[in-house]
Chains A and B, each alone.
Chain A
Amino acid sequence: MSLPNSERLAELLATIPYARFLGMTAELAGEQMTAILPFSPHLVGNIMLPALHGGVLGAFMEMTALTQLSLREPQRRRPRTIDIAIDYLRPGRALTTYARADVRKVGRRIANVQVEAWQETRASPVAALRGHFMLSAPDSPLFGEGE
């Protein structure tokens, strides 16, 4: 809790093996996190274009949502995914991909998060995700946030 957010963020990502597998990093500006997925050949799903694997884009956005939630709710255990819905808007090209999560609601147990991923400009997103995530109950349900 005493660590600055940027250090907690780096520590959080470093402890997740799959985040390292993707090569994902993140930057913080105040409360707002931007997740960064540098292009790497092992992320390609179509060698002809080439294009990032759609699953990788979905995974990156899900990790973005989970990480943003962990930052925002440091007193709780790691959130768990209940469901996600991914829309694919454009092929993910062989470029760095960015993502930001918009936490629309945090209840006592469940959070609703929207994520958008883009490459060259934010106005042309490559994919979007909406998800529900289960949070561990705050220490005391009596003093937790209302649902």
Chain B
Amino acid sequence: MTLEPKALAELGARMAQGTPQSVALGLRLVSVEPGDAAMVVPYRADLVGDPATGVLAGGVLTTLLDHVCGLAVASAAPALTSTATLDLRIDYMRAAEPGKDITARARCYRLTRAIGFVRASAFENDEDNPVATAQAAFVLGGAMPRGAGA
């Protein structure tokens, strides 16, 4: 059983525009299918981590990856549910290219009644040449709801 297309679209819109932090970062929804989601963070000078290079701060990717992983888990669930991050591991393969928007795509590869396991990567254009990859576990509708992805 998966979410209806209408519920999926609602969920995607809510994740992009429904939290103050996603609005502050300007996150945009690229796509959402059951267990598979992608979002973009547009490049902005005020999100830079090292002014000498103009590279986006790692924290921006952390938030983008957490957010899109949460969406992938929520979209895999059989009904609309809240999710909270249990843990999130990120490997930084290389610096993001200055001036470029970053896309993150996440796939929830296993969902139990309580936990969603998800992998994601962040890249400029090519998913096979990632800036960073992530691995996370989320708890579904648990006792510590932090909101989808947050």
Task: Report the number of A-B residue pairs with Cβ-Cβ less than 8 Å.
Answer: 151
Contact residue among B18, B50, B67, B86 (Cβ-Cβ distance under 8 Å from A16): B50
Once the chains bind, are B85 and A21 in contact (CB under 8 Å)?
A: no
Q: Enumerate B91-150 residues with CB–CB distance to A below 8 Å.
A: 91-92, 95, 144-150
How many residues in A have their beta carbons less than 8 Å from beta carbons of B? 40
Q: Which residues of the partner chain A approach B21 to less than 8 Å between Cβ atoms?
A: 42-45, 53, 55-56
Q: Does A90 contact B (CB under 8 A)?
A: yes
Binary per-residue interface labels of chain B (24-63) against chain A in the complex, 1 for a CB within 8 Å, 0 otherwise: 1000000000000000000001111111100011111011
Once the chains bind, are A53 and B87 in contact (CB under 8 Å)?
A: no
B67's nearest neighbour on chain A, judged by CB, is A55
Q: Which residues of the partner chain B approach A52 to less than 8 Å between Cβ atoms?
A: 150
Once the chains bind, are B20 and A54 in contact (CB under 8 Å)?
A: no
Q: Which residues of the partner chain A approach B144 to less than 8 Å between Cβ atoms?
A: 90-91
Q: A59 to B60, alpha carbons, bound, how many Å? A: 7
B29 to chain A, nearest CB (A): 16
Q: Which residues of the partner chain B approach A42 to less than 8 Å between Cβ atoms?
A: 20-21, 23-24
Q: Which residues of the partner chain A approach B150 to less than 8 Å between Cβ atoms?
A: 44-46, 51-55
Once the chains bind, are A17 and B48 in contact (CB under 8 Å)?
A: yes
Q: Does B9 contact A (CB under 8 A)?
A: no
A8 to chain B, nearest CB (A): 16
Q: Which residues of the partner chain A approach B88 to less than 8 Å between Cβ atoms?
A: 54, 58, 85-86, 88
B74 to chain A, nearest CB (A): 12
